[in-house]
Amino acid sequence: MPKMSEHIVARFDDELRRLMTGVAEMGGIVEEQLASAVSALVRRDVEAAARVVVGDKRLDDLEAEIEGHIVSLLARRSPVARDLREVVATLKVIHNLERMGDFARNIAKRAQTLSGLEFVGPVRTIEAMGRIVGDMVHEIVEAYISQDVARAMLARERDAAVDGFHNSLFRELLTYMMESPQNITACTHLMFIAKNLERVGDHATNMAEALHFWITGDAVRGERDKADTTASLTAKS
């Protein structure tokens, strides 16, 4: 009998491992999509931007596929305790990754629009912000796969830097817009791109918190202070 039950346990672990492979695949694509979208913006590369827009479909498909596995696994295996938390956390995580993909797609669409406009704007600062966000996503996906809560919590702290970038970009973009009406349309799109990157940071934070819940059984205590204050910013503040 022990052999039989070991066999069942092994198969269950296989199924959980397969979920994690799916998360890793989605994470890798998200990182790539984000980097390509921002690089398409900087290089005014319309074709690269178009590839990002089309490529987002793969993330939608993967999310649907993994969700199907999860529902099937819940029905057949009835996991409890830590295994159940892993499955529920993974359901959240794939949703967060899919949303990050939507933001990358939206950045790519705006990169297409911006490539046709003449403007002055802090594109290089957005590139730097994109790098920080990309690193944060990378760290948290790796932490999730290796079940390393400490690594995820450390990477989560970087969201403050992302919010800081967003705040200063918001102010800077307002200034560009006021200096010259020709900049207004472009800088509006750049504002939404910065906002998209800030939202990706929030979703990465959610992922880190989902990992914390899975491993410890507790929600993260004390919400991280949100440092994004753009909703209160004016040109003078």
Which residues are at the interface with a second copy (CB under 8 A)? Answer: 64, 70-71, 74-75, 78, 80-81, 84-85, 88, 91-92, 95, 106, 109-110, 112-113, 116-117, 174, 177-178, 181, 184-185, 188-189, 191-192, 195, 219, 231-235
Q: What span, in angstroms and rounded, lies between the C-alpha atoms of 13 and 2?
A: 16
Nearest distance from C-beta of residue 216 to a second copy, angstroms: 14
C-beta of 113: minimal distance to a second copy in Å? 5
Nearer to a second copy, 33 or 106 (CB): 106
Considering the complex, state which of residue 181 and residue 222 has its C-beta at the smaller distance from a second copy. Answer: 181
| Burial grade of 83 (CB within 10 A; 0-12, 13-18, 19 or more) | middle
- How many CB atoms neighbour CB 180 within 10 A? 11
- Looking at residue 230, the DSSP 8-state letter turns out to be G
Report the alpha-carbon distance of residue 142 to residue 89 in Å, rounded. 15
Please classify residue 80 by burial: count the beta carbons closer than 10 Å to its beta carbon, then call 0-12 exposed, 13-18 middle and 19+ buried. Answer: exposed
Minimum CB distance to a second copy, residue 209 (Å):
11
Q: Is 9 or 184 the residue whose CB approaches a second copy more closely?
A: 184
Residue with Cβ nearer a second copy (10 or 71):
71
**In angstroms, what is the minimal distance from the CB of 227 to a second copy?**
14
Rounded Cα gap, residues 215 and 210, in angstroms: 9
Name the residue nearer to a second copy (CB basis): 177 or 208: 177
CB 26 within 8 A of CB 94: yes
Closest distance to a second copy from the beta carbon of 143 (Å)? 22
